[in-house]
Amino acid sequence: MAMKIPKSGFTQLLKDGYKHLSGVEEAVLRNIAAIKELTQITRTSLGPNGRNKMVINHLEKLFVTNDAATIIRELEVIHPAAKLLVMASQQQEAEMGDATNLIIVFAGELLQHAEYLLKMGLHPSDIIEGYRAASNSCLEILETIPVETITTPASEADLMKIVKTAIASKQYGYEDLLSKHVVEAALTVMPKNTANFNVDSVRVVKILGGSIHDTRVVKGMVFGREPESVITKATKAKVAIFTCPLDVALTETKGTVLIHNANEMLNFSKGEESKLEEVIREIADSGAKVIITGSGIGELALHFANRYNLLVVKILSKFDLRRLCRVTGATALTRLGAPMAEEMGYCEVVETVEIGSDRCTVFRQEDEATKTATIVIRGGTQNSIDDIERAVDDGVNVIKAVAKDPRLLAGAGAAEIELARQLQLVAEKTPGLNQYGIKKFAEALEVIPRTLAENAGLDSTEIISKLYAAHAQGRTSAGVDIESEDNGILDAKAAGIFDGLAAKRFALKLATHAALTVLSVDQIIMSKPAGGPKVKKNEDWDED
């Protein structure tokens, strides 16, 4: 059979259904337009006056939050260029846990300025070169403008500086209250070498009821249920952890047992009982005072556990079970039986405490290596508690970043304006077409103070010009004052508003990289999605 001779045109080379977009107009500008839409969503959520978004995901779960990472995660973005930005923000969330909104807003602004340059006739490669040079200069300048360094070992006042700013951007008005709890929890679990600070050591438990003012820190791991057993307290206890149910073992196949009289019936159940009692006795004889199970507990097993004075706790989350293994040093066993000495863990105090009207079980360690602290969040609605949890999570992540790199920048948009001002000086000394890219990169940095001002209802153009004037006079920590009516600028250092240098550097790097990736695309080739036509839903049919 003769081969089919393709007609002219690129799409004829490919299967039916392929889409092909190429050139600046079709590929680059369309990608920029899509990203602009995404940026517009999160931009109004930036800063302490950021508005909340109400997102209902595909499982009909409601989120009311201004946390960019949560908004982006719950929106199912399918546009390929916008997805690049989403991935960059997710990477920032995983690495630093803060400044996710900065990435999206800044990358969107870079691309918006690139669109202007493209329309003016610059080639994409010239813009990419300029942006790359600007990014390198920007990171160099960033190293020269820190205004504070946190001392090690960190004191409460030092950590409050950075945590307060992170929490104020999510829960404005409650930053003093929540920062105190976050710092207290972090200092409880802070290891001698601060670089080893583990975010997982600070846990959050949400209990409905009360108000945000009832939030408190409990030293140890807290579980929102009381023990199953009669015993509710154990000290200096060996701990046995099982992932299997604490119950009579059932056979895998179904069997039939013929019983002829009442004696056989009694003996049959007695054998089962004595076997279970033997297992529980062995566990008690091994020295364990506390049994943790990740599955169900049978009535009979509980009866014997009470007889041998064992404290039994049911923990259904496998992640919590793993954390408890780490804290106590135990190994989770999949078989029911006496644990060996090295498989058992140790806990200083296991006790039941009452928080609000809920009874909770607390595992507390005095030892430095496996210490944990739990922030028990109280609130009136599930949504408000969830949002406070996100703010607390940001606060803890900021402490992790500062434990590795203790340098701080002036917040409230001061660092961005200083970077923009110094970059513009670099641009003026740069020959060739690169200077246009560097200038636009500097202008893009203005987006943070401008957005802070806009979200606070201030005149952004006036405030930007005031900030440039203040920075030109050498006041390098002048930032946006969101509370003032007349002046609009404040000294961020004196006001105690700081950003971590590590998170800012990482965010600027990722945002620039994402923007350059989008700019370097000149063709989009999309195949037809797999699968046939969607099945029509017949809503009016009955179940049968």
Write down the residue that tokens 């950590």 correspond to: 159
The pair of three-digit structure tokens given for residue 256, joined into one six-digit string: 């039939």
pLDDT digits over 42-79, tens only? 888 888 888 888 888 888 888 888 888 888 888 888 88
- Tell me the sheet residues that pair with 222: 362
pLDDT digits over 297-308, tens only? 878 888 888 888
Of all residues in the chain, what percent carry a pLDDT higher than 90?
0
The pLDDT confidence band at residue 252, using thresholds 50, 70 and 90, is: low
pLDDT at 217 over 70: yes
The pair of three-digit structure tokens given for residue 463, joined into one six-digit string: 């405030």
Long-range contacts, stretch 58-61, CB < 8 angstroms, 24+ apart = none
CA angle 310, 314, 315 (to 5 degrees): 135
Half-sphere exposure of 388 (CA within 13 A, CB side): 30
Which of 519, 389, 499, 408 minimizes the C-alpha distance to 118? Answer: 519
Of all residues in the chain, what percent carry a pLDDT higher than 70?
92
- The predicted model gives 92-103 an average pLDDT of 84
Question: Looking at residue 222, what is its pLDDT?
Answer: 83
Which of 435, 498, 489, 518 minimizes the C-alpha distance to 169? Answer: 498
Quote the mean pLDDT of the chain: 82
The pair of three-digit structure tokens given for residue 95, joined into one six-digit string: 């690495």
Question: Looking at residue 485, what is its pLDDT?
Answer: 65
The pLDDT confidence band at residue 4, using thresholds 50, 70 and 90, is: low
Can you give the pTM of this predicted structure?
A: 0.81
Q: Distance from CA of residue 435 to its chain's centroid?
A: 37
- The predicted model gives 303-315 an average pLDDT of 84
* C-beta separation of 353 from 362 below 8 A: yes
pLDDT digits over 40-51, tens only? 888 888 888 888
Backbone angles phi, psi at 117, to 5 degrees: -65, -35
pLDDT digits over 174-206, tens only? 888 888 888 888 888 887 777 778 887 888 888
Question: Looking at residue 9, what is its pLDDT?
Answer: 66
Q: Compare 307 and 484 and report the one with higher pLDDT.
A: 307
The pair of three-digit structure tokens given for residue 152, joined into one six-digit string: 């090690």
Exposure pattern of 35-49 as b/e (b: 16+ CB <10 Å)?
bbebbebbbbbbbbb
| Strand duo 373-379 + 216-219: pairing | antiparallel
- Tell me the sheet residues that pair with 218: 374
Q: What is the dihedral of CA 400, 401, 404, 408, to 10 degrees?
A: -130
Backbone angles phi, psi at 327, to 5 degrees: -70, -40
Question: Looking at residue 8, what is its pLDDT?
Answer: 59
Q: Compare 534 and 3 and report the one with higher pLDDT.
A: 534
pLDDT at 410 over 80: yes
Domains of the chain: 17-147+410-521 (1.10.560.10), 221-370 (3.50.7.10)
Contacts of residue 294, defined as CB under 8 A and 6 or more positions apart, other chains included, come to 241, 242, 243, 244, 314, 315, 316, 318, 321, 332
Backbone angles phi, psi at 3, to 5 degrees: -70, 150
The pLDDT confidence band at residue 96, using thresholds 50, 70 and 90, is: confident
pLDDT at 295 over 60: yes
Question: Looking at residue 18, what is its pLDDT?
Answer: 75
Question: Looking at residue 532, what is its pLDDT?
Answer: 64
Question: Looking at residue 294, what is its pLDDT?
Answer: 81
How many whole angstroms separate alpha carbon 373 and alpha carbon 351? 15
